[in-house]
Amino acid sequence: MQSKLILVQRKKEKQRLLVLLVLAVLLTAGCLIFTGSGVLKIPPWEIARIIFSSLTADGTALAGLDDIHRAVILEIRLPRILTAILVGAGLATAGAVFQGLLMNPLADPYTLGVSTGAAFGAALAIFFGIFLPGGLGMLTVPLFALAGALLALGAVYGLALVNGTLAVTNLILAGVIVSAILSAAISFLKSMAGEGVGSIVFWLMGSFASRGWHHVFLCLLPVLAGLLICCYYADDLNVLSLGSNAARQLGVDDGKVITILLVTCSLITAACVSVSGIVGFVGLIVPHLMRMLVGPDHRILIPVSAVGGALLLSGADTIARNLLATEIPVGVLTTLLGGPFFCYIFKMRAKSQMF
């Protein structure tokens, strides 16, 4: 009997790893296809040669290739696609962890008000026309958004910390309070912005237009480091799903793990929102879809969600910039896709509570 259970477990692990491998292959192929799509069509094999030559400094790989194609790929499309991949991976990872920690299927990376803080920081920079000197000019709005997100996170934790204790319920309530205050401040800035309101609204809708390598590097380290930290604590996150008392009995310091994961995922979200604006529902949809494929084990759910989120958002961005003559903000598209899915989750949860 025990040997059969071991065989079944090994079979499930192989199936989960297969899902991860398939998604990784799809993401790699999708990256080449998405980068080549647009008004100027560039075949995937040519894109692969351009990327290979850039990574290896092998000039012979560029023989016979169009210089315009190379410039379009390396300076415009590739950094945009990589930014979308990093943001999608970060938001999906944060969403999976938030849902596991809060044991709430409707939790997402924006639960603690980080997105509202980022939006307020960006709105301030746009409203006052702030432009940082030196080589930081292009990063003015993202850096202000990142600072706003971190300040909002600090305010949430300051409100939630009572007698040196950090309770999840207090965190959620503090996030709601801070979000409400900052939303009112953003509305005030929009009402006073005059002709500049369009720039604020466009940023709030989420977009990867005009994203360059500096945006990639701004979110690269937080997303990758955060993903590694979340994977490291995946076992503890599985134990926490049994409840705090059971986790303590099994030797898990629940307070420490919860704090580390919440801070890590909030920082991931802050970095993502700072370069993309507010892109909704990625952190809600992807963890649910991946949970259907691989189950609730966070050791595989977190990396699979990261790859799935990267694939979804890079694909959504490609659709957003090619569907119509005028580019659609990717945040609008993901919300249109995520809204019906959100309704489905809500109805299924209501039915499960009835029985």
Give me the mean pLDDT over the 50-56 stretch.
83
Give me the mean pLDDT over the 310-336 stretch.
91
Instruction: Lowest mean pLDDT of 3-7, 29-33, 239-243, 292-296, name the range.
Output: 3-7
d(CA 233, CA 255): 13
pLDDT of res. 225: 96
pLDDT of res. 169: 79
- Contact (Cβ atoms closer than 8 angstroms) between residue 284 and residue 94: no
pLDDT at residue 352 tops 50: yes
pLDDT of res. 60: 64
Q: Which residues contact 178 (CB under 8 A, 6 or more apart)?
A: 113, 116, 117, 152, 155, 156, 159
pLDDT of res. 107: 80
CB atoms within 10 A of CB 127: 19
54 vs 330, residue with greater confidence? 330
pLDDT at residue 1 tops 60: no
Give me the mean pLDDT over the 333-337 stretch.
87
Rounded to a whole number of angstroms, the distance between the first and last alpha carbons of the chain is 32
- Contact (Cβ atoms closer than 8 angstroms) between residue 313 and residue 84: yes
- Of 184, 189, 182, which Cα lies nearest the Cα of 125? 189
Tokens of 90: 């970060």
> Any idea what the CATH number is for the domain that residue 282 is in?
1.10.3470.10
Q: What are phi and psi of 161, to 5 degrees?
A: -80, 115
Tokens of 307: 């790859």
Averaged pLDDT of the chain: 87
d(CA 211, CA 331): 15
Give me the mean pLDDT over the 319-328 stretch.
87
103 vs 316, residue with greater confidence? 316
Give me the mean pLDDT over the 31-36 stretch.
93
Burial class (CB in 10 A: 0-12, 13-18, 19+), 5: exposed
Q: Which residue range forms the structural domain that includes residue 267?
A: 2-354
The model's confidence at residue 63, banded by pLDDT at 50, 70 and 90, is low
What is the tens place of the pLDDT at every residue in 106-152? 788 887 888 899 889 989 988 888 888 876 777 888 889 889 988 99
Q: Domain count for the chain, please give it.
A: 1
Secondary structure of residue 110 in the 3-state scheme: coil
